[in-house]
Amino acid sequence: MHLEEKTISSEPAYQAKIFRVTKDTALLENGTEAVRDVVHHSGGVCVVPLTENNTVLMVKQYRYPHHEVTLEVPAGKTEPGEDHHDCGLRELREEAGRTCGKYTYLGKLYPTPAYDTEVIHMYLAEELSSPEEQNLDEGEFLDVTEIPLEEAVQMVMEGKIPDAKTQIALLKTWLLTQGK
């Protein structure tokens, strides 16, 4: 079939804490075979916590692979058997110390579809509760900061927020809220 590859074999290559890698052999539509290295990831969620003042609660966090502090919306990976809806609410509580009265699904994205199975689901959280204490994972360190939505969108457009999930979720939020 056109634009389809069939898996002939799949062998474990590496098992890490948050992902595993397989070395697959795929049959291409022209009858030849190709090797495909695939990163298998449980997926994740990001949440745009939007206040009544049209500001976004964002987190500053050190990202080891890039050796820099990034500015992102609260996010995290789904635990085994956890629904992405519930994961987003959990991450909102853990990282931003908030709950919400209105929770809107913004869709999903594939951050690196060429070799990674990860899917990130995006949500908009509104009608936020008063701040509560964060409940961060062990070894997780981050600071919450509040930025006007318009400023955060400008930062995306100026290349000051390189995180893909944050860029997409903020731009979708901006588009959804402009009619309000």
Strands, DSSP E only, in the chain? 6-15, 19-27, 33-41, 44-49, 55-63, 68-72, 75-77, 100-109, 120-128, 142-148
From 4, 52, 138, 158, the catalytic residue: 138
User: Is 4 known to be catalytic?
Assistant: no
In whole angstroms, what is the distance from residue 91 CA to residue 113 CA?
24
Report which of 4, 8, 1, 2 is spatially closest to residue 26, judged by C-alpha positions.
8
Q: Which residues are catalytic?
A: 138
